[in-house]
A and B are shown apart, each in its own frame.
Chain A
Amino acid sequence: MKRVYLGEFEEVVLLMVAFLEDDAYGVRITHEIIQQTARGVRLNQVHASLHRLEDKGMVASKMGDPTPERGGRRKRIFTITAYGRQTLSEMKSVRTHLWNLLPSSMNTLAG
């Protein structure tokens, strides 16, 4: 089986897209990541990984409505695809499985 590789940052972005639902576009995602994870993220990084995710088929996009603060430009709204969702849940279950393999002391420590 050909496994699709998903980077750590891509995973975060993908999660954000899933979380933001209909409001997932570049700026919003960036700000949300900064807020939620407190890491310094730049707009171009987010854009780049969004495009990669789209190439991999994990997100789909369409042009949204124009807004005045963007100078009348439209934004590109990303939504997670079924494949993206499946990949996320697979990764999560793999991780949970791996966590479960740890000795319980470690488990509590991390928990």
Chain B
Amino acid sequence: MKTNPKPTPPRWAARLLQWYCPPHLVEEVQGDLQEEFYYQLEQYGLLRARLDYVRNVLGFIRPFSIKRRKSYSSNPFTMNMFNHHATVAFRNVIRQKTFSAINITGLALGMTCCLFIFLWVRDEKAVDNFHANGKRLYNIYQTTASNGNVTGNYSTPYALIYHSLTFNKRDEATAFSVEDIREVVPEVQNISSYATGYELPWGHSETFQAGDKIQKFDGSRARKDFFAMFSYPLIAGDAKSALHDISSISISRKMASFFFQSPQNAIGKSIRYENKIDFVVNAVFENISPQSSLTFDFLINWDSQMKQLEWASSVVLTTLEIDESANVSQVEMKLNRFLQSKRSKNDPEIVTVGLRPYGEKYLNSSFVNGRPQEGRMVYVRIFTGVAIFILIIACINFMNLATARSVKRAKEVGVRKVIGSSRFSLINQFFGESIFLSFFALIVSVLMIQILLPSFNGLTGKQIASPIAVPSYWIIVVCLTLLTGFVAGSYPALYLSSLKPVRILKGALRFTHAAIWFRKGLVCFQFALSIALLIATIVISNQTYYVQNKNLGYDRDNIIYITLEGELIPRYALFKERAMQMPGIVMVDRSSEAPHAMGFVVDENDGLKNTNTGDDAIQWEGKEKTASVGFKPASVGFDFINILNLKVAEGRSFSKSFATDSADAFMINEEAVKQMGMKDPVGKWVSAWAKKGHIIGILKDYHTNTLHEPIKPLIIDVKEYETFGVIMVRLEPGKTKEVLATLATLCHEINPNYPFAFQFLDQEYDKLYRNEKVITRLTNIFAVLGVAISCLGLLGLVMLAAEQRTKEIGIRKVLGATVANIVNLLSKEFVALVLVSFLIAAPISGYFMDRWLQGFAYKIELSWWIFGVAGVTALAIALLTISIQAFQSAIRNPVKSLRTE
């Protein structure tokens, strides 16, 4: 026994005991068991003692010996440390007021930005996703391939809408093949067709009359399943009977209140449409929420559209409700098979259809290779990225300041480590501090959101409600705070806690090269992001300015236009005559489409070389059978050229003094001449549909739509008696108000059943760039924020550098350094960093801006001065920030800085 080591109880049992036994009991129990073990050992020998020990350990697994006591913490030490850490963090915030302010401001700005973008993105994603059936709804999109071009849009091939009309020329109303789809594709449960009455190129607000009230509203036509498929709440009437026959109309609460005082009152009442058709109100729906991409104040039954109403555009949106268990790609296949059976075999175009979930239409509205892709989704992605970047910039501030300040905190870390703090506890402490700070920032940013939300809504054109009551908002807010705190605190926590106490306390703390490079890298990254944002904002603002102010080739100022409707159609000549006599009116003329946004193009997709049938709508002298040009046709009045100040390049413009001009004259633009390949075009014959005539003049190219679109071939002729289009009136500048009043009286007199409604041409043109404007404003704000936050961080770093080098500066001054020397000393390093970040940012942002500009047919050049301005601005702001602090420490009296030790 003496030579052997002292026998011990089985180790595993001892461990087991230690594991399950609560801290307040473990000592006595272990002690008792061990004492018993040695007692047993003496009395009965080792084996018995060990067995007994094990039995005892197992026997102790009882509620009383497992349960942790609640009265005081199982680990009182950490509890105290929590309070302690909170105190230390708070004291640090108070002591370093400037740095805390910089940190909190930066983080708060970053978080506000993030939260705003979160709200915006959430709102964008919510569009069209509120329908109860949402998951089963699919939109049909069509892909058209011809002549090597593949295009697509959310419309429905004509063969699916009314093949009987186009191919059999029988009764228009019979056998719409959309109805047949349900038989051929059993997975399809419901079908909705939807077309607006107000979309370009021919749509406009439509006039309604009930009693003596007349008003214009924007509305659409829809198949009778519409309300059953979509969750637009009905206030009066029910979904089944809402659109059941050709005379039925459903109207919004707004419209019902206007005409019939209350929604309930409106049911069963008759309402007159465009002074020619009477509809019966069958249902009243709640005003359309901003989260619906379809907007309408009334819905007319689809049969009306097919039989008696004008089409506003060629776009028909078909939505299918598909059985949940159905395989979408199989449905697509069946649809295509059905479609091809309905289409003419000789058609040179290849048209196919596809299905896309209904909720994706809004964000994926542009088509690449005939398939829906991107669209607004791009902006959602870009802004999400920007939000993250701005938050990163703010986090980097925090990291940099914390590490730079760590010389001071290092002593604290050293002492803590010597006293016995574990690394884990130090990491906890620093994470705790950064999360503490980010909660401060959170409070600030939640307040800012509340205050700034109305202006944010104004900026983005949204109606986002205050998110205070939304739980998901708070979840995001808290997650964001924790994440920010975590990211911001990660480097200080890991770095500071790794310091060796002996070295710190000896006072020999030097930053390693890696640490310094890391910090510089972070500053570079920060500034690179800011400069990239600056470049983006300059490019986008410039492009937006460019598109709004580019000379379009016509004069759009001081022109209003009125839709040609009602009595104005037969009495246009009278209107023109009377209006021309009124003071303040320079000229009156007409056009089949509003000139700023002409959308109708014929023959565009024809001309597949082998199958071209040669039956294009537009023909001309010397046209080869295979040639094909997409024309924008328009019928105008005699003064069209003059009213818009268009330039004639060759030949002459329309004139009443030539008797043949109203029947025989055509004008085309230079682009048309180029694409037609015509030499000496004036005098040659052209034809548009049934009308044949001669080219009398060539127009200089002008823009007939936004600058997203290249100038297209244009062909115009005179038709003073066309039954649709707009009347344009050129006003004398400065007399707009009086002239509008007299025009209103005139319209009421000539066209009493329609309200007088007009648009300013220049304003309508600007509206086409609404998206670009929002983007411009947002990027401006983000760029300013990014630069501001980066500079805050820079300011902090310079302050620290100056503080750490107080003595050095003092000695330099004593030895004769000038203020300029010292400012130079302090700023040199940072200026170099800004320069490096410029070198990183310029090519990257250049690449992305170039891609953005690809979306415009006419665009500014990405010239060097844009980058120059961005770089110089960033440098100047950085220098200014740095020199404020550098100057302050440079003019300090060296006596003061050297006195203290």
Contact = CB atoms under 8 A, between A and B. Distances in A.
B59 A43 contact: yes
A108 B461 CA distance: 105
B588 to A, nearest CB: 102
A73 interface: yes
B39 A27 contact: yes
Contacts of B35: 27, 67, 69-70, 75
A94 interface: no
A92 B155 CA distance: 99
A27 B27 contact: no
A71 B60 CA distance: 19
Interface in A2-33: 25-27, 30-31
Contacts of B639: none
B750 interface: no
B32, B62, B64 interface centre (most CB from chain A within 10 Å):
B32
Contacts of B33: 43
A25 B39 contact: no
B30, B38, B64 interface centre (most CB from chain A within 10 Å):
B64
B332 interface: no
A70 B38 CA distance: 9
Given A73-B27, A73-B30, A75-B28, A44 B39 contact: no
Chain B residues touching A, majority SS: helix
A42 interface: yes
Interface string A62-83: 0100010111011110000000
A27 B134 CA distance: 73
B29 interface: yes
A73 B31 contact: yes
B64 A71 contact: no
Nearest to A70: B31
Nearest to B29: A47
B56 interface: yes
B29, B34, B35, B56 interface centre (most CB from chain A within 10 Å):
B35
B36 interface: yes
B65 interface: yes
Contact of A25 (B28, B38, B59): B28
B62 to A, nearest CB: 6
B36 A43 contact: yes
B27 A71 contact: no
Nearest to A44: B59
B59 A74 contact: no
B32 A25 contact: yes
A2 B384 CA distance: 68
B64 A69 contact: no
A46 B55 CA distance: 14
A26 B28 contact: yes
B38 A51 contact: no
Nearest to A61: B28
Contacts of A71: 30-31, 34
A91 interface: no
A43 B28 contact: no
A26 B626 CA distance: 109
Interface in B15-71: 27-36, 38-39, 55-56, 59-60, 62, 64-65
Given A31-B39, A43-B33, A69-B34, A48 B27 contact: no
A45 B64 CA distance: 11
Contacts of B27: 63, 73-74
Contacts of B38: 69
Contacts of A47: 29, 32, 60, 64-65
A74 B31 contact: yes
A71 B29 CA distance: 12
Nearest to A31: B39
A71 B59 CA distance: 21
B58 to A, nearest CB: 9
Nearest to B58: A44
A52 B65 CA distance: 11
A14 to B, nearest CB: 17
A42, A44, A69, A76 interface centre (most CB from chain B within 10 Å):
A44
A75 B38 CA distance: 15
Contacts of A69: 34-35, 38
A45 B149 CA distance: 90
B60 A44 contact: yes
Given A27-B36, A27-B39, A31-B39, A44 B31 contact: no
B312 to A, nearest CB: 84
B34 A73 contact: yes
Contacts of A48: 62, 64-65
Contacts of B56: 42-44
A30 B39 CA distance: 12
Contacts of B59: 42-45
B856 to A, nearest CB: 82
A54 to B, nearest CB: 10
Contacts of A67: 31, 35
Interface in B59-105: 59-60, 62, 64-65
Contacts of A74: 27-28, 31
A63 B32 CA distance: 13
Contacts of A26: 28-29, 32
Contacts of A44: 56, 59-60, 62, 65
A73 B29 CA distance: 9
A44 B29 CA distance: 9
Contacts of B39: 27, 31
Nearest to A26: B32
Nearest to A29: B32
Nearest to B60: A44
A27 B32 contact: yes
Contacts of A73: 27-28, 30-31, 34
Nearest to B57: A44
A48 B60 CA distance: 9
A30 B33 CA distance: 11
Contacts of A52: 64
B64 A51 contact: yes
Contacts of A51: 64
A42 B55 CA distance: 9
Contacts of A63: 27-28
B514 to A, nearest CB: 46
B306 to A, nearest CB: 87
Nearest to A55: B64
A74 B27 CA distance: 7
A43 B34 contact: no
A29 B690 CA distance: 120
B30 to A, nearest CB: 6
Contacts of B31: 67, 70-71, 73-75
A88 to B, nearest CB: 22
A75 to B, nearest CB: 5
B24 to A, nearest CB: 10
A71 to B, nearest CB: 5
A75 B32 contact: yes
A43 B32 contact: yes
Given A27-B35, A44-B65, 4 more contacts: A27-B32, A47-B64, A73-B30, A75-B35
26 contacts: A25-B28, A26-B29, A27-B32, A27-B35, A42-B56, A43-B33, A43-B36, A43-B56, A43-B59, A44-B56, A44-B59, A44-B60, A44-B62, A44-B65, A45-B59, A47-B29, A47-B65, A63-B27, A63-B28, A69-B38, A70-B30, A70-B34, A70-B35, A71-B30, A73-B31, A74-B28
Closest 7 pairs (CB-CB, A-B): A73-B31, A70-B31, A26-B32, A44-B59, A76-B28, A44-B60, A27-B35
Interface of B: 27-36, 38-39, 55-56, 59-60, 62, 64-65
